[in-house]
Amino acid sequence: MTAGAFILPSVFTLLVSIWYVSFLSQANALEGNEMHLFTALGRLFYGSLLSLPFEPLLQVILSRSCVWVFVFLLAVDISQAVSIVISFNHFSLSSALSLLMSGFFAVVDMFFIVSAYRLSVIGDLVPRCTEQPARPDIADLSATPLRFIKGRSR
């Protein structure tokens, strides 16, 4: 998986999120689903950040930190789904769509978590400085051993 693999999922989730928010605003049901907009923007920003061509070391560092950001976004999406279930209205299409989109956003968050994790471990990082520290010279073993003089006891 390369860094460019985040472009299409980021754009796709952005388009789905725009459609979802515009549908909810037309149905006057946007007041209970603000966190979906927050997580959609978070997925777009961090997915776009991971799509940029950085050096391998910086790419690994960014993807490892973005894994935790996507875990946080997943937790926010799950809490939003719980909030929707608590205030579910059986007679409103917007409640059913909100619950469906909560499940979709949770699956997309898990995809981003797995993709960012794979990007963080796929690069084989090797240290550039491969010099071994110099070993101290071992004394010549053929030298005569030290002899201790027995001292007089007082």
- Residue 21 sits in a domain whose CATH number is 1.20.120.230
Q: Which of 93, 81, 70, 1 is nearest to 35 (CA)?
A: 81
Residue 107, domain member (yes or no)? yes
- pLDDT at position 105 is 92
Is residue 146 situated within a structural domain?
no
In a domain, 139, yes or no: no
pLDDT of 128: 66
Residue 63 belongs to a domain:
yes
- Residue 6's closest CA among 74, 53, 57? 53
Residues 94, 27 contacting (CB under 8 angstroms): yes
Please list the pLDDT of the chain residue by residue as tens digits (154 residues): 566 778 888 889 889 989 988 888 888 877 777 888 888 889 889 988 888 888 888 888 888 899 999 999 999 999 989 988 998 888 888 888 889 999 999 999 999 999 999 888 876 666 666 667 666 556 555 666 666 666 665 5
- Range(s) of the domain holding residue 77: 3-122
What is the domain count for the chain? Answer: 1
What pLDDT is recorded for position 55? 85
Q: What pLDDT sits at residue 94? A: 83
Residue 74 domain flag: yes
What's the pLDDT at 151? 64
CB count within 10 Å of CB 69 equals: 18
